Amino acid sequence: MSDIRFIIIGAGLIFAGIIVLSVFGSEFDEITLQAEFSDCYEYHEDAPPTTINCEIAFYDKMIFFSFVVMLIVCGIVAMLKGIRGTWDQDVKPEDTVGPGSSFGTRDEPKDSDKTDKNV
């Protein structure tokens, strides 16, 4: 896989982790504050608050946070793999193009531009 693809995948994974944290992370904000007290409540818009187990809610928050951290760490690893990649070091000599390469050059004097019929 090309090195630039790893950089793009890494940036996408980091971006996805930040978006997931910002969109779905607000559900776990109040659990952090409520975990310091003995009772935890889940609030609903159309019903009174219900009592929930603080430890289970805290574990749910940690699972969500570990998923987001995994996305961001995988993105960082992919970006580092892309940045530290081999880029052009693995190009075969027969595939090189440009000055000093044998691709498309004229090796014999009889193939010079003077004998081209298209000119």
Find out whether 21 and 61 touch, Cβ atoms under 8 Å: no
Q: What is the mean pLDDT of residues 90-118?
A: 60
Residue 72, pLDDT > 90, answer yes
Mean pLDDT of the chain: 80
Question: Where are the extended beta strands (E) located within the chain?
Answer: 40-42, 50-52
Tokens 């992919």 correspond to 78
pLDDT(15) > 80: yes
Specify the range with the lowest mean pLDDT, choosing from 28-37, 63-72, 85-94: 85-94
With pLDDT > 70 as the criterion, what percentage of the chain qualifies?
Answer: 73
Contact between residue 14 and residue 20 where contact means Cβ atoms under 8 Å apart: no
Question: What predicted TM-score, i.e. pTM, was given to this entire model?
Answer: 0.65
